[in-house]
């Protein structure tokens, strides 16, 4: 059994078909089938049941897949670690974030690049659920997302709480001369809300707070794109409720920001990365930058 066979086996399991796995691996199907057969003979155990009626990974196959993924990850981590000893902080830093947390990254990425110009930054977007999936699949090194998450799987660096505010068009300022706004007043306006593409999130929590006060908000639009919501608010289409950090100072001439008079939601963004995995120097440098700003 060698590393190549383990990589082949993992790909077969993930693609759920030898033909598809062969295409991913850029090899012909017969040699791949032969390698699987050799692996089963060496281990003296069937790993995948495959016939015309059934394709299923056996219990032995599931255990091998789990261990093989760990071995392959350890090899990848070892290669990164040795390379960094020789070459210092460089390579690719893959960061996952949700649109609602993006403002926290913008405060750090420019200075990070100036300090580590040889690090290529790859930025991926998703909601909390999608970002956790990316972490588990090693598609990203670290995620900036909203808590809560399953803490047993991750190292977590909690950032400052971020209160929700109501953002109204600047041209509506005379309608709302006060320094705060009530939920009842918000419910009387056309409302644009952020909403994740899957699962429950802040959208559902906001609705529940309205219902708790026996209010029915007049929601006319929802979107996962916070910047898009702000653009629409600036046109006078309606108002939105978002974390205060998402209203960038440079654009505040287009809006008026009003705290909510009743007790309301606060977000808790956090940097999250996997336990039991080698942390590249670039990731550690980013974590340190966030820690020093707390």
pLDDT in tens, 199-238: 667 888 899 999 999 999 999 999 988 889 999 999 999 9
Residue range 50-74: average pLDDT? 88
Residue range 51-75: average pLDDT? 88
Instruction: Place 245 in a pLDDT band, splitting at 50, 70 and 90.
Output: confident
Kindly indicate whether the domain formed by 3-83 is annotated with CATH number 1.10.10.10: yes
Instruction: Place 251 in a pLDDT band, splitting at 50, 70 and 90.
Output: low
Residue range 13-40: average pLDDT? 92
pLDDT in the model for residue 192: 97
pLDDT in the model for residue 199: 64
pLDDT digits (tens, 9 = 90+) for 66-124: 999 989 988 887 887 777 665 667 788 999 998 778 888 887 888 899 888 888 999 99
Residue range 127-146: average pLDDT? 90
pLDDT digits (tens, 9 = 90+) for 160-173: 888 999 999 999 99
Computed over every residue of the chain, the mean pLDDT equals 88
Contact 37, 89 (CB under 8 A): no
Higher pLDDT, 198 or 40: 40
CATH number, span 162-267: 3.40.190.10
Every domain of the chain and the residues it spans: 3-83, 88-160+269-293, 162-267
pLDDT in the model for residue 280: 85
The number of C-alpha atoms within 13 Å of 74 and in the hemisphere containing its C-beta is 8
Kindly indicate whether the domain formed by 88-160+269-293 is annotated with CATH number 3.40.190.10: yes
Residue range 129-143: average pLDDT? 91
Task: Report angle CA 213, 219, 223 to the nearest 5 degrees.
Answer: 125
Lowest mean pLDDT among 86-95, 240-249, 282-291: 86-95
pLDDT in the model for residue 249: 61
pLDDT in the model for residue 122: 95
Burial class (CB in 10 A: 0-12, 13-18, 19+), 213: exposed
DSSP code string of 2-69 = -HHHHHHHHHHHHHTSHHHHHHHHTS-HHHHHHHHHHHHHHHTS--EEESSS-EEE-HHHHHHHHHHH
Could you check whether 88-160+269-293 and 162-267 share the same CATH topology? yes
């Amino acid at each position: 059994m060698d590393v190549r066979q383990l990589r082949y086996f993992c790909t077969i399991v993930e693609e759920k078909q030898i033909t598809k796995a062969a295409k991913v691996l850029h090899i012909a199907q017969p040699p791949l089938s032969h390698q699987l057969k050799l692996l089963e003979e060496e281990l003296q155990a069937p790993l995948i049941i495959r016939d015309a009626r059934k394709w299923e990974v056996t219990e032995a196959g599931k255990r091998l897949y789990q261990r093989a993924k760990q071995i392959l990850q350890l090899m990848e981590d070892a290669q990164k670690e040795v390379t960094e000893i020789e070459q210092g902080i460089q390579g690719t830093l893959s960061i996952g974030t949700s649109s609602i947390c993006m403002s926290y990254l913008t405060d750090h990425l420019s200075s990070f690049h100036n300090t580590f110009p040889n690090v290529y930054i790859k930025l991926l977007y998703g909601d909390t659920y999608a970002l956790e999936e990316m972490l588990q699949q090693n598609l990203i090194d670290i995620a900036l997302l909203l808590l809560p998450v399953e803490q047993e799987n991750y190292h977590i660096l909690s950032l400052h709480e971020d209160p929700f505010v109501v953002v109204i068009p600047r041209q509506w300022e005379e309608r709302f001369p006060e320094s705060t706004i009530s939920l009842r007043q918000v419910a009387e306006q056309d409302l644009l809300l952020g909403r994740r593409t899957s699962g429950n999130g802040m959208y559902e929590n906001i609705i529940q707070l309205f219902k708790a006060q026996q209010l029915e908000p007049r929601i006319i639009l929802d979107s996962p794109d916070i910047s898009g919501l702000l653009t629409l608010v600036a046109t006078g289409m309606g108002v939105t409720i978002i974390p205060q950090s998402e209203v960038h100072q440079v654009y505040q001439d287009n809006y008026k920001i009003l705290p909510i008079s009743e007790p309301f939601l606060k977000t808790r963004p956090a940097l999250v990365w996997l336990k039991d995995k080698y942390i590249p120097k670039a990731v550690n440098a980013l974590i340190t930058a966030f820690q020093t700003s707390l």
